[in-house]
Amino acid sequence: MDRFYTGLRVFRYGGIKGFGMCDTVMQNRLELSDEIKDHLNTYKYREYDFYQLGTDFLLTAWKD
């Protein structure tokens, strides 16, 4: 999938239809708390972390 078109709403809809998905998602398309967004902006080069979003989503975030 192209990252321009993806977001949590697309993944939720795909899950309802029985599709599993994995893709890169642009940060501005994520429905994240302000706390997580602030933390993502503090990453240093090659730093990464994992976040569980509800019961259906695992977010892996990193900085290139």
Domain containing 55: what range?
A: 8-62
The model scores a pTM over 0.85: no
pLDDT value, residue 47: 93
Cα 47 to the chain's mean position, in Å?
16
pLDDT digits (tens, 9 = 90+) for 10-55: 888 888 898 888 888 777 777 778 888 888 889 999 999 998 877 7
Own/partner pairs for 21-28, CB < 8 Å, 24+ apart? Answer: none
pLDDT digits (tens, 9 = 90+) for 46-60: 999 998 877 788 888
The reply to whether 29 falls in a domain is yes
pLDDT value, residue 1: 66
Q: Distance between CA 34 and CA 24 in Å, rounded?
A: 20
Closest CA to 58 of 22, 29, 28: 22
Provide the number of structural domains found in the chain.
1
